[in-house]
């Protein structure tokens, strides 16, 4: 091998991007919550019911993270009874659109993935 010298720092910016994406939506609930908010603003309890099996704590933690990243907005309505709504920001909408191909890929390959796993596990 003679190319040993000039191949340092191959893809550091790509690595940075991947870390950022995973840090934002790589957890168990964020993408799920974002997907539900595509249809429009939702209240806390409404989300709690919609996102199956999420605990109250994890919904709060997830929403705080998404709010911090500028993906959702939190709006407190002073009414009787008082309530809070969450809504995708414009950036949140574009994030949603950016994930569409990946979700589509899963639809197209779910069967093949299950098959590959079965083959691998059988051996």
Partner DNA sequence: CGGTATCCTGAACGATACTG
Partner DNA sequence: CAGTATCGTTCAGGATACCG
* C-beta of 60 vs 94, nearer to DNA: 60
Q: Which does 56 bind (CB under 5 to 8 A by kind): DNA, a second copy, none?
A: DNA
Rg (CA), the chain: 20
Q: Which does 75 bind (CB under 5 to 8 A by kind): a second copy, DNA, none?
A: none
Which residues, in sequence order, are CB contacts of 30 under 8 Å at separation 6+? 24, 62, 65, 66
* C-beta of 64 vs 109, nearer to DNA: 64
Site residues for DNA, 33-62, by CB under 7 A, read 43-46, 53-58, 60-61
Site residues for a second copy, 4-33, by CB under 8 A, read 10-12, 14-15, 17-18, 20-22, 24, 26-28, 31-32
CB of 78 to a second copy, least distance (A): 20
List, in sequence order, every residue forming a beta bridge with 87; answer none if it has no partner.
73
């Amino acid at each position: 091998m003679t190319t040993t010298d000039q191949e340092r720092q191959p893809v550091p910016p790509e690595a940075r991007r991947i870390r950022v994406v995973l840090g934002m939506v790589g957890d168990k609930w964020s993408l799920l919550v974002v997907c539900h908010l595509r249809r429009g603003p939702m209240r806390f309890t409404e989300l709690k019911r919609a996102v199956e099996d999420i605990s109250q704590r994890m919904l709060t933690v997830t929403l705080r993270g998404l709010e911090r990243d500028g993906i959702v907005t939190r709006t407190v309505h002073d009414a009787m009874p008082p309530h809070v709504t969450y809504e995708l920001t414009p950036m949140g909408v574009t994030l949603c659109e950016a994930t569409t191909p990946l979700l589509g890929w899963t639809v197209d390959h779910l069967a093949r993935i299950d098959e590959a796993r079965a083959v691998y596990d059988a051996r």
